[in-house]
Structures are given as C-alpha cells and as structure tokens.
Structure 1
C-alpha cells in the first residue's frame, strides 16, 4: 500500500497543461518550464503528508498529475481527489454522500434485485430457495460491511462540516458552490480511500469546520497528501512534510514547525560544509598551480588532483527569495473613523433581521478580525461597514475623508486572464509610467518576468498578490479584507501579516487562518445570534469555546 515514485521529471507546457517531460524533444527549454527534475516521492501507507512550497512552484500541478494518473499509482490503491464541487440537482445532501460509496451501492443494488426476483410471480419455488440462500449470504456481507451504520456516519461528517440535520435533507441545487465543495469533501471522507488528495481544504471552511476537520483527520486510517497554506492546519494534521523547491522534493518527518526547524538546521549545515569544501578546494588548487611543473613535487600534485576528483560535489545553498508585501503609506484619520450605531439590518421587509442593535466602531489603529460560522453574516457585516448596504435601522457614521480599500476573493476570479499583470494594472489606473506600475507590482512580489506573464499562467497566490497591488494603487486609508489568505503560501501569509501591521490605516478582516489572526488581531469580533460580540481573550478563548461545542456535539 506504499507509493514510491522515482526520477520524476515534470514540465509545464506552453499551453499551460502539465505533461510528463519528453527528454528527446528538440529545444525543449523553449517550450517547457521545468517543475521537477529527477525527483523522488515516497508515501508510506497510513501517514499524512503536507506538500509545501512557494506560490507558482507547482504544488497543485503535482497533485493533479497524481489524481489524473499521469504519474503511475499502483492499481490496487483507491484514490480520491477533492477538486470539483458536486453537481447541483434534486439529490438530497445526505443521499449524495451515501451514493459516493460504490461498494455500498452495489450491495444494496444486489439486495433489491434478489428481493424483486423472490417476490416475482414467475419465479419457481426451487429458484426462490436458491435466491433466498444467495440473499442470506448477501445479508452476512452487508452486516460485515456495517452498512447499517453508514447513514449515521455520513450525517456525522456532514454535521461536522456545517450541515444541520435540516440542511442534509435539502437538495444539492439549493446550495452555493462553496457549500457543494463541502459536500465533495464529505463524500471523500465518507468513502475513506487508500489515498486522499486534498488541495487547500480549509479555503471552503469556517473555523469551526476547520477544527472539526483537523480532529477528524488525526484519526485517518490511510494515506493523506494535502496542499495547504494554513500553518496551524499543517501542524495539527501532518505527520510528514514534503518541500517542493529547486525542482526537487525533500521529505521531513513531523509537522510544519518540525519541518521549518529541520530545514533551517539542514541548510545551515549544508552551507558550512559547502564553505569548508570550497576553502579546501581553493587551497588544494593553489598547491597544484604552484607546483604543477615541479618534478620533485609531481607525486604530491597528482595525489591532490585525484583527491579533488574524488571529493563529493556539495551545492551552495539556494535560498528562496524573502517574501515582502507593502501597502503604501496613507493619510491617518482622527477618530472616530467608522461606526455602526444601533444598527439593524434585513434584506427585505418579509425577511427576518440578520442583525439587531449593532454598536461597533474602529479607527486607524484598529486591527480587527471577524470570525463566526458560515452563514452567520460576516460578509453582510463588511458590506454594512463599507456602506454598500444601508442599515434598516440605526446609523453608519464615517469620517468624511475615509477611503476604503476592499479585497474579496471574487476580485481574483474577475481578473483579465489573457493579458499580463502590468497590463491589468495599467488598464485599471491609466496615466502612470511603466516604472510606477512595476513598483506597485514589486511591492507585492510580482517583479521581473512575473509582471510580464499572462495572468492565466500565474498561480492562485500570485493572482492574489496582483489583487493586493490593485488595492494598493487605490491609495486607501482603511482596508477591509474578506478571506485574503486563500491560495497564499505559508511565507506569504506571514508577509501579509507583517504588511498589515506596518500599514498606517485601519484594518478589518474576515479570516479563518489562525496564523494571520495571531499576527494581526488586536480585537476579535464574533458574529453570532444576530449581533457582534467582542471576544475577551481573543482567538485562544474563541478556539476553546468552539472545541468545547464540538465535544458536546460529538
């Protein structure tokens, strides 16, 4: 049940489709960008692997190549990848999950066929006896497979991912794409494949569902291979980390923190060995050059030449470029900057109130993080703060010089994919020089050739950086961000946290990323029960509360 892939060569083609690298292709470098070169990958059954690396390095490409079987996995290993949302139709959520177990469906189908045959008027008594014998054996197989426990198991998974018992009976077509992705995840967790492939599973979840998933995966019996930017998730779930860099895959035992420490120690030791060997080579070469034509020293010269030839080649450490993000300086506003006073809101007169008696405020020193269950109204609260929605009751007060910059994930999806990053920013903000556009992109790590690449060739994290650059060009003095960490690598999440702390304006963000909240949050707002509660004790206290709720529910 172990998986071992050796000498993997993978390149990305000019049509942006991953393919196995063809070594005999003429002028291959003109057509492909190498992602992996002679890389090895070992997955031991029962261990949980986190694949990490910088944005655009090829993590999702490698995951898709495994799921599409472009990289050969033994046929006896069942594999599931959570990539696409389930189809929206009239199938109830719970049935959609139950139907994903093919073995269960086959057993139930055989049971129905035997029952129909036994009850048929055309079946003879002897045939009924034979069919009854087959049905008895089938019932034993069904009992051994514990199919009677399947509905409860499916309901438990769905509940953990945020579906109430009432939601589970509703058809899939009534749910948004994000919720149908949760159904896809529930189906994979229910089936329990030998190899579970997950690409950024926390992107679609609120913090309560993330905590449940972390606990659920810790007891996972088979192999997991997950791409995630969420450092806390990687720490809670992973038994091993695979680092994709420099066209190779390096494997480390332990969670992300263990990997980070081990990698630093490994690189430090490698650099010491490299420098020591470099010094030895230089001194030896100086001796060879000095006495090359000295007959008396000829044996010593030959000995040192052979020693140099036998020395193993130690590569210099390839340090990955530091990720730095920087929002432009802005005008600081005097308090109060933005307030909601006694605000109530509902979308229509016949709808229930989503919020009542909201009294919250912020200023340019605010670093506010908003958490809460999906559907509690976090995005609606942001729109009330921005003034995109008018309060049904109460008043929104804002500084007259307030200029809000808003980031939402759909901004990334709406980028023009057929042009370069520099063309996108020039179209949105015409009249500036190429140097100014490059500087704006460079503040968010899109420098050099990245600024000239078509947006379609950028990774999800690089597209988010482009959206950040567009936000910076607006010159806002207040930032409101809705899930800004989706698709960002771990290093960029850290850089975003530092950039938001250094920013001279106010910050309000909705996020499920614990690391970003830890870095930025000075005040935690919890959206629940049609109001906003300021959580004393911040994220640690909120996490305790959620984990206690999950224990009570289980």
Structure 2
C-alpha cells in the first residue's frame, strides 16, 4: 500500500516541530484538490521544507518529495480502483445544496489563510509569509478565472461570404436586361468564423435543372445554402428563393390554409378581389374598379387558382397528412410535422430556386417515395443537400461535389457521379505519374552532365524545361471513414430479447398495440419501417424495457446490454463542452488518450475533438453520439433513425460496422441504402401491429406505390 503524504512528511523530515507539521498538513489538506502538479506543491511548501531540512536536503531532493506528496494527494481523491472511479449516488442531488456546499468549501479554503501560524519555529517568518502570500494569490487568480469562465456565454462563430463582382452583370441588372433564370456565381469565398470553407469557388445552376449538393460532414454544405438564401452570395434579384430550413410557427390556421397562403401571388389577387367586390357592393368603387377586377380574374384563371386547394391537399397527403390532419390548427403539430408543413408550403409556392437541406430526415419511407416522384416533374431549379443515395438517384439531374474548398460539377445522378469521379481520379493519377517520370528523366540528365562543359548548354535548356513545367501536386484523395463497434462480450444463449402477447397504450381510450409478439437474438439484423406516428419508437422502448406493457411479458437475457441511439440523441449532447470532456463526464476515470481513441474510431480526430460540441456540424455531432453510445461496449444495438445528418461515406461506414458486429441489431430507418446493406428481416409497424414482410424492401416499395396510385397521390 502506498504511503500517505503525512507518512512521507514524517519520514523525510523527522525533526520537524509539531506546530509546523500541523501548518503544512493543513495547507495540503485544504488545497490538495487544486494542485495540478508536484511543482505547485513545491511552490506552496517547498521553501518552508528547505528551511526545515537545513543542509540535509538540497532543492532537487525537496522537489522530489513534493512530487511524491502530490501523487499521494491524487490517489486519495480517487474513490476506488483507477479503472472504476465512479461515484454511486445514494440520494437525489439538490442543486441549491450544491451551491451552499460550494460556498462552504470556499470558506474552508479561506480558513487556511487564518490558520495560526507557528510563532516559535526554526523557519524564517518572512519566508513563511512569502509562501502563504504566493499560495493565496494563486487561489484568488484561479477563483477569478473560474468565475469569468462561468459568466461568459458560449459564442458561436458566424458564417460569411464574399465574391468578386462583375461590372457587366451589374450594369445589365440595373438596365433590367438580365432576365435569365440561370445562376452563375464566380470566384467566391465562404468562411465560418476563422475556418475557410470555400475559396475561389464557382457555382453554376441552369434554370430547371435539379442539383444534388454532396460532400463530407462539416465542409460547409448547409452554410452554402444559407449564404444563397440570405443573398450573401449574389443571386439576380428577380429570382425568387425559398429555403426549407425552419419549422412553421404554430397558430390557429389549419394546415391546408397555411399551405395555400404560401402562394403570395394568389393570396394577393384574392385579397384584392374581395376588396374590390366589397367596394362595388357598397357603391364606393372607382371607375376603373371593374376593369381591374377583370384583370384579376384573368390572372387567377391563368395561374389556375381554383385548382390550388386540390393541389395543396395532394401535397399534404403525399407528405403524410390525413384529411383530418389537414384541417388541424398548425399549433397542434409536433416539430417534425411542422417541418413537413414547411416543405409542403415550399412545394406549393414553387419558387424559382428551391433550397432543400436534408429533406428526407423528417420523412418516413412512404413520404420519401412520394417526394421522389413529385420532384421528378419539378419545373424550376432545385439545389438539395441529401445523404440519401437512392433519393439523389431518383431526383437529381446534376451533382455538385464540395471538397478541398471548391465545388466540382458532374452531369447525371449520384451513381454516374461515383463512376465519373473514379475515372477522373484515375486519369489525374496517370497524368501525375507520367509527369513525375518525365521530371525524374530530366533530372537524371541534369545530374549526370551538370559538370560537363560540353553539355552545359543542354543542361541549362533542361533546367528551363523543369522551371516551365506546371507545379506537381499529388492527387487529393478524401480520407476513408471507418466505424468500429467494440466487442468484448460472450455469446448469449437464446432467448435474448422478446415480447410475448404485449398490449400497450398511453391512454385507455386509444389502444396502440395488442397481441404484440416479437423476438430477436445476437444474429438479428432487423429493420422496422412504417409511417411516422405508427408507434415504431414506442416498440423500441418496449423492447428496451423503458416502457412497461399493460399486459403481456417482456423477456430479456440477464447479460443483455443494449446500446440505444435515439432520434434526439444528438439534441441531448452537452453543447458547451468539447467531445473529450463529454466522454470524460459520462465515463470518468480514463485517460485522455482513451477518449481520443474512442472518438477517433468515429472520425472525430485532432482539433475536432477539442472544439465545443455546439460548433460541430450535424453529422459530426452524430458521430460524437455514436462514440458515446459504444463506449460501454453493448452486445445489442437499437438504433432509431441513426442516419440523420450523416454523409453517404459515413452511412457506408456505419453499414460496414454493423455487418461486422457480432451482436444483435434492430434498426428503424428510412434510408433505403442502409436498409439494403444491413437488414436481413423487415418488420412493418402498421395499424397497431408489427409483422414481418416477406420479400424485403422491394415488396414494401411495391405496396406503397400501389397505395399511392389507389388514393390518387401519384
């Protein structure tokens, strides 16, 4: 057993008098938690100890003793073995009491300076006073720093954009000659705080084409959309822009009426029509009123205003709103449904440039399939950020790839982009190798004849050839993303996890499930699909034991350890700390290297791990959430919409990790690519039942298409 600092003090300084001994141990007791290393212990009591030891110990000896005492102080603060330094609370924690305890602790520290200092001692009183003053000043500085840190709110960086202006385009716009709906933005930069996201970039959007904006998480896709929507990047003023970013504010208006009002032209004409008719009826109309009314009727007929309610209703129905929901006030909808409502308003309004940021995140599989079909006939320009590979293949006509602070454009869908990009990289690699070989060939000649007078002219000529060659740059390949799910568990014998004849409801008047029978084991790769609101998340909570069945039984193996990723997992992260601190707070007692290693397994490396979580992109926050979830090494994963905000490369890495994982997996997802890569069994949650669908995802798509056609949504 290691010696305590008291024992070290008595052993190393046997002649120390009792009053001085009490004084030093009092300082170490009161301030031990604040010392960061042995040097700080030496600064506090080293001078006093040197006086006590006289000539028996030099300064280095005293420093070593202070380091030993510091190490014992560190050990004494750890409750239990280093690998298990966790505190089990046996009662609820009252924050008000914690505040009082903190005040009390500060008073205890202040009491150190009021200790009765030994008067009759062999130590120089002035040196003792100097040591005390130094230690007290250190504490005051630290307390002041902590107070400042607590009072400063987290300030997030802001995005900014700049671009080179074209005088020719400016003159054309001022003269009203530029009526094209094509968008071309040249030589522009976008930054987020001090980080450069795009530099000298170009973006060309041809009217009527549908563009998919892709790139790794954190590179600036969402920021670029915001710069376009705010017109921080120059878009001709006659081009209307609509960015689906925020949910609709709830009020008393019905959902259908909210969508109809998004068409400002129609609403303006109808409002003017009502006003003119009222004036004509009460005899206050001007002479031109009837002529203007005729113009309004012509315009309303031209824009097919009478068909607007039916069109709005079809859009809402396709996005999952039942006839009853379409008449509900918007304030009664949850945030996810209000985001759908925002999307419906944008689709109904038909802007010249529609900006969509991860539109499939808020949708279930049936709504995604409907949206794919609807956007295929879209007449104006779309720029969409999406991680859904199948959605991009179904919708877009072009791909814009954000990487290396620039934008590259490709004709065709995502599959064509992958093929074309690979061909480009191969050609660039061949050119690089050919140029490298040519340079080496010239250099060999120069090195061989550098000092040959007869070849001096040729050598000079070769040197000039080298100077004229373009700068040689290696191929810029994106780093490969890998996920790893740790495994250190034994095989469990079935049954692992099952529900038998389970009945559940939140209110007795509305039964959610009855006769629910489900089972899974460590070999399971299950995906559950169904419309939003069907109860998928409730089923997951019943499987985990977070909800108790009204009747029926949940059975789980006693050694089952579930890792759960919820839809709102990212929202529940502490945004004010960095990723390393986040893991330290959740799993205390490990080294920084262990936390960094865990985060690195999910692509959070280098300075990303030390940034405040609030400054990370949505995809990076999801990776942090994965790192946190897997830290305890579960043997079964239940994942509820894990792909939201992840880029396509990360989804592929997630699928690969799940396939290599030796435990069980139940997955709720709308991402067709992930479902096809991972799942061996498809559960459909519908009408109070969960049943296995033979034929997998292909059969499920066919069922949904048949339903859309039957109900007239396609």
Instruction: Assess same fold via TM > 0.5.
Output: yes
Aligned to 2:292: 134
Aligned to 1:4: 184
For each residue in 1:503-554, what CA deviation from the matched residue of structure 2 results, as whole angstroms up to 9, or x when unmatched?
Answer: 1211101000001101110100000121111010111111111112112222
Task: Tell me whether 1:172 sits opposite 2:352 in the alignment.
Answer: no
Q: In structure 2, how many angstroms separate the alpha carbons of the residues matched to 1:35 and 1:131?
A: 55
Aligned to 1:28: none
Q: In structure 2, how many angstroms separate the alpha carbons of the residues matched to 1:207 and 1:38?
A: 39
Tell me the CA shift for residue 286 of structure 1: 2.5
SS of equivalent residue, structure 1 residue 507: strand
Aligned to 2:496: 337
Tell me the CA shift for residue 234 of structure 1: 0.9
For each residue in 1:140-186, what CA deviation from the matched residue of structure 2 results, as whole angstroms up to 9, or x when unmatched?
Answer: 12111211111111111001000011111110001000000001000
Q: In structure 1, how many angstroms separate the alpha carbons of the residues matched to 2:362 and 2:432?
A: 44
SS of equivalent residue, structure 1 residue 410: coil
Q: How does 1:21-170 map to 2 (within 5 A)?
A: 32-122=194-284, 127=286, 130-170=288-328
Q: In structure 2, how many angstroms separate the alpha carbons of the residues matched to 1:409 and 1:291?
A: 69
Task: Tell me whether 1:233 sits opposite 2:395 in the alignment.
Answer: no
Q: How does 1:193-204 map to 2 (within 5 A)?
A: 193-204=351-362
For each residue in 1:363-401, what CA deviation from the matched residue of structure 2 results, as whole angstroms up to 9, or x when unmatched?
Answer: 000010000011111011111111111111211111111
SS of equivalent residue, structure 1 residue 260: helix
Tell me the CA shift for residue 303 of structure 1: 2.9
Task: Tell me whether 1:326 sits opposite 2:492 in the alignment.
Answer: no
SS of equivalent residue, structure 1 residue 388: coil
8 Å CA contact retained: 1:196, 1:224: yes
8 Å CA contact retained: 1:482, 1:509: yes
Q: How does 1:176-215 map to 2 (within 5 A)?
A: 176-215=334-373
Q: In structure 2, how many angstroms separate the alpha carbons of the residues matched to 1:37 and 1:380?
A: 47
Instruction: Give the one of 336, 346, 356 matched to 2:505.
Output: 346
For each residue in 1:259-282, what CA deviation from the matched residue of structure 2 results, as whole angstroms up to 9, or x when unmatched?
Answer: 111111111110111011011112
Q: In structure 1, how many angstroms separate the alpha carbons of the residues matched to 2:232 and 2:288?
A: 46
Task: Tell me whether 1:288 sits opposite 2:468 in the alignment.
Answer: no
For each residue in 1:84-143, what CA deviation from the matched residue of structure 2 results, as whole angstroms up to 9, or x when unmatched?
Answer: 0000110100110111111111101110111111011455xxx4x642232122211211
8 Å CA contact retained: 1:331, 1:505: no
Aligned to 2:562: 404
Tell me the CA shift for residue 314 of structure 1: 4.6
TM-score (norm: length of structure 2): 0.73
Q: In structure 2, how many angstroms separate the alpha carbons of the residues matched to 1:256 and 1:291?
A: 53
Instruction: Give the one of 391, 410, 415 matched to 1:257.
Output: 415
Tell me the CA shift for residue 33 of structure 1: 1.3
Q: How does 1:215-226 map to 2 (within 5 A)?
A: 215-226=373-384
Q: In structure 2, how many angstroms separate the alpha carbons of the residues matched to 1:98 and 1:463?
A: 36
For each residue in 1:61-89, what CA deviation from the matched residue of structure 2 results, as whole angstroms up to 9, or x when unmatched?
Answer: 11111111111101111110000000011
Q: In structure 1, how many angstroms separate the alpha carbons of the residues matched to 2:583 and 2:411?
A: 42
Aligned to 1:516: 674
Structure 1 residue runs of 5 or longer lacking an equivalent are 14-31
Tell me the CA shift for residue 288 of structure 1: 2.3
TM-score (norm: length of structure 1): 0.94
Q: In structure 2, how many angstroms separate the alpha carbons of the residues matched to 1:495 and 1:337?
A: 27
SS of equivalent residue, structure 2 residue 506: coil
Q: In structure 2, how many angstroms separate the alpha carbons of the residues matched to 1:544 and 1:275?
A: 49
Tell me the CA shift for residue 343 of structure 1: 1.0
Instruction: Give the one of 585, 589, 593 matched to 1:435.
Output: 593
Decide whether aligned partners of structure 1 residues 122 and 443 sit closer, same or farther in structure 2, where only a CA change above 3 A counts: closer
Tell me the CA shift for residue 321 of structure 1: 1.0
Alignment RMSD: 1.3
Aligned to 2:702: 544
Tell me the CA shift for residue 348 of structure 1: 2.1
For each residue in 1:281-314, what CA deviation from the matched residue of structure 2 results, as whole angstroms up to 9, or x when unmatched?
Answer: 1221222233344343233223323322333335
